[in-house]
Chain A
């Protein structure tokens, strides 16, 4: 009787031990960045209804530049500034590495623009506008817009409103990248309609199955960017 009792408890005990061991070996960063999950989602995969961008799987160097950017005032967002104000470079680097190595997941977002607008956006994204020396988005962010390691961000899996707000912020001088700020230059030369078209097209693209950003191997950029070493 006693033995049977013990036997019944054994699997539960083993499971409990396994659970404890699992918790002990879990990435401590997961707990440390729990504060971020409220807006950016579990492991940086933000929910469809969230304005905050998905950050899972973005190039680490890019993420670090954004984190230090919020802290040091190159980017402005009241919550992000208060969150990061007192954190060290080392800690932010670990955070960037954590999110850079998470798996992204496509958030379904049906295109919300007319076909003509999408076509105009696609043309600018893929070819730019040679007459105005406007480089194509794809020239830096990659043919599939997945970005390049370590510092060029992917543009997919983001809401059109978010993308639009970023280009708008560059145009109005509230978002800055490291000098020379190529995106400020480009955004400043785009019309509001062009920005709407570009962002509508990008937001309508889905993450391909292999969504890892390629590593940049010194390919020259069509424009000087301080954030891209």
Chain B
């Protein structure tokens, strides 16, 4: 009898502690305040439009070719697909019957109007730092859009990720509601940048590696990492060493124009520039760069496992790669990888090309691509697709050559890596 009681206590105590741990965030959550919005004025709506740009809401909440903000875009995750929701003020399928308090609760606590927990594909881990005032302005802007009827699409997630219980556990592990606290030791510019990068910008949603459960690994914050569902790798944002003023200015230029003197935004970053960053004020972009350049260096994502290339094989690829480079690449990227200012990116010193993983470089060679059309750079030049013109062996060779020439010192690329893409 005593043993049974002991056993019961032994089981019960951890079980209760577990339940408390899971419920704790909810117990601390203040009840949502239900007051209707005070009628928004034009200035608030305009500010909200700007902030919605800074949050790049439109990118995920729009299905290509459909009405903006009406949702329905599939968002791939390692656990299945979720679909973005309708942010237009349609009363039945959108935010038409929401209050500012309910909207703020979604941004701050990651909870829907009916109390359901939201999937963290909606980056409330960052948006939680958005101020109530800014949240209200975004809400006022969204309410000013034309209502579009677009019903919610059920997520296609595998068990157990599709349960509220899994979300509860995930949140207990990886989510704390928070707010941005000014660092009085720093300049107002730095604080503005930190607020944008850590909040609406949700930069670490991609630029920080995630663990097997999709949690952002904060000890590697801004160290870069793979974006598995998109097949791209986000480069580190945290600088490896001190960033010069010229480098900082070029970063701001890239964020605004999509094309800078030496570089071009590609893949998912091109989308961020297109829908969000190009619309931000120069002062806000400068603030973001000011914060980014102050980030402490961190270890990036664990080095990806890649096929080994022997030294003899590397030299063979280098030789072969030089021939391929001269024939297919040098016309645009230059004999010494210097590129052409504002037209074709430089390859010498190119961080995307020389990253630990060659994934982005392989993908760019295979698929090609254009930078984004922006107000400052409306007609960017492009990179052709070589998928049909070069063999995996030739692509591996030319990338080995470019990653190992003109001062670049990155590892060789094996043809096997190219075939896997």
Contact = CB atoms under 8 A, between A and B. Distances in A.
B382 A36 contact: yes
B64 interface: yes
B54 to A, nearest CB: 19
Contacts of B343: 31
Interface residues of B, number: 28
A13 interface: no
Interface string B344-380: 0000000000000000000000011111110000111
Contacts of A39: 384-385, 388
A189 B383 CA distance: 39
B332 interface: yes
Contacts of B258: 86
A72 interface: yes
B271 interface: yes
Given A38-B385, A39-B388, A88 B369 contact: no
Contact of B271 (A78, A83, A86): A86
Nearest to A80: B385
A35 B383 contact: yes
Given A85-B271, A87-B373, A90-B378, A35 B65 contact: no
Q: Is the interface of B mostly helix, strand, loop or mixed?
A: loop
A86 B371 CA distance: 7
Interface string A71-89: 1111000110011111110
Interface string A29-55: 001111111110000000000110000
Contact of A82 (B368, B373, B379, B388): B368
A94 interface: yes
Nearest to B270: A86
A84 to B, nearest CB: 7
**In this complex, which of A31, A35, A50 has the most chain B Cβ atoms within 10 angstroms of its Cβ?**
A35
Contacts of A36: 382, 384
B387 interface: yes
A162 interface: no
Count class of interface residues, chain A: 20 to 34
Given A86-B270, A86-B274, A91-B378, A38 B389 contact: yes
A32 B371 CA distance: 11
B270 A38 contact: no
27 contacts: A31-B343, A31-B381, A32-B379, A32-B380, A32-B382, A33-B382, A35-B368, A35-B382, A35-B383, A35-B384, A36-B384, A38-B386, A39-B385, A71-B64, A72-B64, A73-B64, A73-B65, A79-B387, A83-B367, A85-B370, A86-B271, A86-B273, A86-B370, A86-B373, A87-B370, A88-B373, A91-B378
Given A71-B64, A83-B382, A88-B373, 9 more contacts: A31-B381, A36-B384, A51-B388, A73-B65, A79-B368, A83-B368, A83-B369, A86-B270, A86-B273
Interface of B: 64-65, 258, 270-271, 273-274, 332, 343, 367-373, 378-389
